[in-house]
Structures are given as structure tokens and as C-alpha cells.
Structure 1
Amino acid sequence: MNLFNSALGKNITFVHPAYFEISGLFGIPNVKYYYVFLFFVYVISVLGNTVVMAIIILDHDLRTPKYIAVFNFAFVDLFGSSALVPKLLDIFLFNHRYIPYNDCLTYLFFCYTCLSMQTLNLVALSYDRLMAIIFPLHYQVRVTHRFMLSLIASFWVFVITVMFIVVGLLTRLSFCKSVVINSYFCDHGQIYRLACNDYTPSFVISVLLPLLIIWLPLIFILFSYLYIGYALSKVATLRERVKAFKTCTAHLSLVAIYFLPILITFTLMEKIHPNARIINLSLTSIFPPMLNPIIYVLQTQEIKESVKRLFKIRVQSKITVKKGTIM
């Protein structure tokens, strides 16, 4: 078997199944209520992120580097939810548990791409807050539209490249035994463990992925806020500290929403029931995109003022139209 898999340069016929079976949520008691919950979470996610994107497009005052990152965040949340939830509901609610091999890998690619971009977007926003608070006089020079667009574009290129490698390695695996994936979607770890030839490259990348996508972004964000906290401690007045900290509350809320459930789930992975772990991981993927737009609308002063301005302009235009009709 090792000789079979080691000859990477030779013509090898890999045994690819016609389909995979997704079985993660089947058999969980009263799980249909969870599907109803997921449906409403998805609807709110779509509406909320669409509204945030529309506000940023319509209000020229929000055409700043920070809101380029926020717009990308909302887009990724919208795209990620649409890639994951409808197919998840189709699989489990309508009992379409068999998914073709190529479709499964495509499903994996888009889900992992969006989940990875969500954490890297938090890095971009963290850097924006770091520059705005530590170097306020140089902020507009250091954080330009071009810089933010280049940063986000580099994140997209990096993530897409990594995910092509992930999927490419999976195509070099043979599946001659079980094709049952015990997860709520086409999970990378669950797939490569089903292979009957050597899956060491996929195992290595499964170790590197959390490091690149979760731990390094989290470490950068934590050190950024430690530095921000140290800088704020040097500010003379309490009022200035509070004012500076308020600009970070929305971002800190997003960081907590994304990373705390992941850390808790992976820390207690061996101690919790497999069904509970699957539910927790699915919530970790689905819940943040719903909360992100709510947090930004409620906690970000610029967006609240933008909503007021847009609403005021709409009301005034209606009044003008009515006056013109009466005259």
C-alpha cells in the first residue's frame, strides 16, 4: 500500500466513490426543531449582511479602508452561509444524505474558504484598530484604500490557494471501504480518515490548517489588543481611554463570537458526546454570520449615523414627491 501511494509521479488509478453519505445529524432526537432554527438563522444572516453591504454602498461617508474590510466581512458571511446552510438543510431535512464525490469536494472548498476568510477578516479589522489607536496621526497614510484592498486580496489568494491544495490532496486518496461522513457537511478530517491508502499529506495539512487559520490570527489579534491596552494605559484621561476603547467594542465582540466557541469545542472535544460536538461545531459555523451585522449596526456609531442619514434622505424625498404631486 505504501508503494502504491508513494509513486506520485506515476500513473495511478485512485478509487473515487460515486458519492459520500453525510450522516452527522441523523439520529439526534428532535433534530427537526434544530433545522427550523437553522432556517431562521440563515434568513436573518442573509437579510442582515445584505443590509450592511447596502448601507456601505449607499453612504459615501463609509467609503473608508475600515469599511472595505467590513463590506468584505459581510460578503463572506453572506456567501459562507449560502454555501453551507441550504445544502445542509437539503441533506438532513429532505433526507438527501448522498452527495456526489465531486459535489462534496466543491462543498468542502467553498465552506472552508469562507470560514477561513472570516478569521482573516478579523485580522484585517484588528490591524485597522491597532493603527487607528496607536498611530492616529499616521493612520490615513498607513491604512489607505489601496493597502486595505491589497491586504484583503492577498487573504483571498492565500485561502483559495490553500484550499486548492487541500482538495487536490483529497483527490489522491482511494476510498475502498466506508463512505459515511459523520459530520454536518463534507468535513476534511472526516473524509481523509476514510481513505484506504496513505493519507499522511492530508493529515499534515489538517494539522497546519488550524495553525494558519485559527491560532496565528488569534495570536495576532490578542497581541494587537495587548498593545492597544498598554497604549491606552498611558493616555492621560479616563475619558480618552473609554473613547478609544469604544471604537474596538464591535470588533472585540466579533472576535469573542468566532473564537470562544471554537476553543471551547476543541478543548472539550474528548469529553462531550459526538452529537453535541457536531451541533456545537455547526453552530460555530452558522451563528456568527447572523450576529455580525446586528453587532455592527448596534455598536458602530458610523453605521448608526449612516442609517439615520439614509432614512432621513428617504423620508425627505417622499415628502418632496408628495409636495410636487399636490402642486
Structure 2
Amino acid sequence: MGAISIRDVVKRYGRGDKANQVIHGVNAEIADGEFIVIVGPSGCGKSTLLRMVAGLEEISGGEIAIAGRVVNHVEPSERDIAMVFQNYALYPHMSVFDNMAYGLRIQKVPVDEIRARVDKAAAILQLGPYLTRKPRELSGGQRQRVAMGRAIVRQPEVFLFDEPLSNLDAKLRAQTRLEIQKLHGELGVTSLFVTHDQVEAMTLAQRMIVMNAGRMEQIGTPEQVYATPATTFVAGFIGAPPMNLVSGRAEGTRFVLEGAELALPAPAPRDGALILGLRPEHTELQAPGSGWPFAVDTVEMLGAERLVHGRVGNAPFTVRVDATLAAPRAGDGLALRASPAHLHWFDASTQQRVG
């Protein structure tokens, strides 16, 4: 079956003292049939990690196994994987059917079986009416579905997706995300999906790997990563808008930061230099003097909700409020009430979660 083991995987470019290490000892165990999303900012190493699983990049250290077989030195064509790229990579002179069937013809699969596999994939992806068309006659979303169909007909152990939705507009991205979810539900094939879009990661993943500067910051379900971020990087990257992070000094139920002293609803896990994290939806605006002092700078209207941007002391802070409530105005001096159950604490030097 298509379980994937990534054990202490390292990637370096160059040799000796001048070697540039871009992947730093990544470890992950991916169960058969699991949908894993690798998410992180541009340049964090997520695509490099995917390409090492695919065999398109050599591994400098560690081990990758697919279906129990170590594949460090196995050619990409022999790893029983199928990859969907950002740029579709379709043959412009071939029909949709021929694009989907091409790999099977190279493998000398019988004609009847090719027809059956392509028809089945076309039905899953709603491509039946387009099988005789050329790629230039299709929309971007349809071309991406053809690229996915080409991967499906191979019936691989593992699907690898390298930012496949990046070229689509916002509406098509949302629609194609739903199609990928349905596709995985029907096929149940182990899948690795790379994206820089944290909303995409949260909506698609059964578990997600958050990458930063070549290191795996955290692996877990979207709910785990959102509710208990392991580091300040994860806290600031996952969530829209991101978690508020305020540096200061904890003294029991007091938190002293530049320009303010906050009364905490519960004691900090320890005294000393800490970073306090609080998501925008876990605070409430109140009348002045009834909580943490909050100076309003700007208000964003987002339909059903508003984002109120301001400052707690000298630290920037964002609050999410229901759009049915009266909107504050720039320059207002208000107060914040924080839920004790939703305070997050991080070490000021290591940036790691505390408690």
C-alpha cells in the first residue's frame, strides 16, 4: 500500500564548507490513504521535499520509503507515483483523451483497458464532453482537471500535487479544492499536496506539515495546528488574519509590555520574558476602562464581520467582530476582554510553545 516514511531527510546543494543546506532533518510518517498538505511560505523547502519524494531531487541524507520500499536510489518512473504540476504540462497538439492516455500507451497497456481507465477518470472529473477537445479549447480549471485525470488513470500508490491551483482565479480555486476533496474520497490514494496558501491547507488536509526555512515546525490536523500552534511562526502563519503576538514580561497575573500593563485573566505559565498569543476572534471590544486598553487605528469591512486594527500599548493588535455590531471609528479608545481559555504562551528566545 502507499504509506510514506520520511526519516531524517536532508538536502544540501554544493559540497564541503560551501554547501547550502535547504532541508534540515525532516521526519514524517504518512499512513496509506492519508491526504497530507505541506504548507509554508515561498522558499521554505516544501516543493524540494515533494520533489525528493518524487525522485526529481537527490537526497543528501536520510531515507524515504514508499509502500515499505526505500526509494532513495529508485528512478522516478519506478516509484509508482503520479505528479500534478502547477503548469498543467499538457501536450497542446493532443486531445484531452490522448493527453490522459499517453502514459498508458507508453506502458503498452491494452487499448480496451486504456479506454476504460480514461472513461472512468473522465466521469469522476466531469470531463466526458471534452475528451475530443484540445487543451487550448479548455478553461484553466478544465486543463487542471485533465492533468489530474492523467495522474488518476495511472492508478499509482501515491499522488503528488505541486501547487496545482496557483494558476487559477479565486473562484476556480475554491471549486477545484472541492473536486480534489471528492476525488480523494472516491479513490483513497495517499496524497501529498504542496501549497503556500494556508486557507487551501486548512480546507484540504487531513493532516498538515508546516515548513519554515527547511524545517518542519509542526505536523498535525488542521484543528490541532490552529488551536495549539507549536511555535510563533505557526501561530503567525496559520490563520487569516494571523494570531496576535505580543512580547513582554509576565509577573503572575500581570503582563508588562511596551506602553501598557495588562491584567491577565489567568496566571502565565511562568514568570519572565514571554510572547503572548491571542487570535482575533478570541477577544471582545468593551467600553474604555473595563479591560486591556485598545486604541483603534483602522476598520476593515469583510461582509459578515469586521477586522478592527489597533494597538495594545505600542503593539499592533487585530480584533474580529460581528458586522451587525456598531463599528468603532479610527481614533477611538476602547478596551479588550480576553478569554483565559484562549491565551497562548511562547518562549521569547526559542519561539516555542510554553505550557
Q: TM-score, normalised by structure 1?
A: 0.21
Larger CA Rg, structure 1 vs 2: 2
More relative contact order, 1 or 2 (CA 8 Å, 6+ apart): 1
Determine which structure has the larger helix proportion and give its number: 1
Q: TM-score, normalised by structure 2?
A: 0.20
